[in-house]
Amino acid sequence: MPEQWQAAVAAVRTALEPYGMTIVQPFCLGWYNAAVDIRFQLDRPRGDADGEATASDGRDSSRTLGILVGNTSAMWTPFLRFVRSQPAGWLAAHPDPLDAWTQTVAMADAATAVRTQLHLPHHSVAVRYPFETGTRMVGFQACAHAAGLAFLHRGCGLCVHADFGPWFAMRAVVLVDIAGPAGPPPVLRDPVPPSEGGRLAARVQDLIARPASTPYDWRPWLQLRDDLAAATGTTAHRYPDDMVEYHYSKNRAVIERAVAAME
C-alpha cells in the first residue's frame, strides 16, 4: 500500500497529465529550506480563508511534503487547445495567458485532486508560483536542485534535467500538510562536461555585460540554451518554435498565431 505522500503525488500526476505537465517531483520542505535564504523558505500550509499558506504556527515543517510541478514541450498543445476554446477577449484579458491557465485551470484541478484523494481540508493544500513576489516568492531553481529534479548549473544560470536538459520549465510548488519522503535529499551529478560548463559560463558573463538592446534581443540567450542542450545530448527535447518564442518574448501574438495554425 503506498504511503500517504505517494498517493498525493499520484493524484497530482494524474490530474496534470491532460495538461501536458508531466514533471511531478516530491520533496521535503526541509531539503529546500536548507538551500535558500530565510526570506525564501517555505512553511507547512495552515491556510487562510482562501486556502493559501500563512505564517507558521510553530510546528516543524521540515518533513512537510512539497511537490514541484514542471513541463516539457508536451504542455504547448493542451494550452493552445484551451486558448482556442475560450471566448473572444480571453487572451487579451490576461497579461500572461500561460500563467493564468496554469493557476486557474491546471493547478486548481491538481489541488482539488489531492484534497479529494486524501480527504484533506481545503487549507491543508496550498500552491506557489514562479511569478509570485514578496513573502510568497520561492527559489524555484534551488527547489529543483534540492528536490533532485535538475542540477542547478550556477555558471550557466540554468537548471539541467538528466533527460530533458534545459528544455523544461517549472510551473508551481504544491504544499501538502502531510509528511513527505523520508531520508536525506538526493545528490545530483553535474551533467555538463567541465570544459563545456566553463565555456558556457563565460558566455553568460559576456551576455550580461552587453548593453541592453531595444527591442530586447533574446536570441543570444536562446543560442546559449541550445548550446547547453547540445553539450548534454538533449536537443531532441527542444520546444516547438512558437513555444520557444513565447517563452522568451511573452508576446501574446505568438499564441494567437499558434492557435490560428491549428485551425
1 pLDDT above the threshold of 80: no
What's residue 165's pLDDT?
A: 98
Buried b (16+ CB within 10 A) or exposed e, 182-196: eeebeebeebbeeee
pLDDT in tens, 33-55: 999 999 999 999 975 434 454 44
What's residue 163's pLDDT?
A: 97
What's residue 46's pLDDT?
A: 74
What's residue 214's pLDDT?
A: 77
What's residue 212's pLDDT?
A: 84
What's residue 87's pLDDT?
A: 95
Query: What's the mean pLDDT in 104-111?
Result: 98
165: DSSP letter = B
Categorize the per-residue pLDDT at 95 as very low, low, confident or very high, splitting at 50, 70 and 90.
very high
How do beta strands 169-179 and 64-71 pair?
antiparallel
pLDDT in tens, 202-249: 999 999 999 888 788 999 999 999 999 999 999 999 999 999 999 999
pLDDT in tens, 15-26: 999 999 999 999
**Which SS3 state, helix, strand or coil, does residue 144 take?**
helix
What's residue 261's pLDDT?
A: 96
57 pLDDT above the threshold of 80: no
What's residue 50's pLDDT?
A: 44
61 pLDDT above the threshold of 50: yes
User: Measured between alpha carbons, how far is 205 from 119 in angstroms, rounded to an integer?
Assistant: 50
Average per-residue pLDDT in the chain? 93
Q: Is 43 left (phi over 0), alpha (psi -120 to 50) or beta?
A: beta
Alpha helices (runs of H) in the chain, residue ranges in sequence order? 4-16, 29-33, 76-85, 97-101, 107-118, 140-146, 194-209, 219-232, 241-249, 252-262
Q: Where are the domains of the chain?
A: 4-262
Query: What's the mean pLDDT in 112-120?
Result: 97
101 pLDDT above the threshold of 70: yes
56 pLDDT above the threshold of 60: no
pLDDT in tens, 156-178: 999 999 999 999 999 999 999 99
User: Measured between alpha carbons, how far is 60 from 214 in angstroms, rounded to an integer?
Assistant: 49
pTM to 2 decimal places: 0.94
Categorize the per-residue pLDDT at 58 as very low, low, confident or very high, splitting at 50, 70 and 90.
low
Count CA within 13 A, CB hemisphere, residue 26: 22
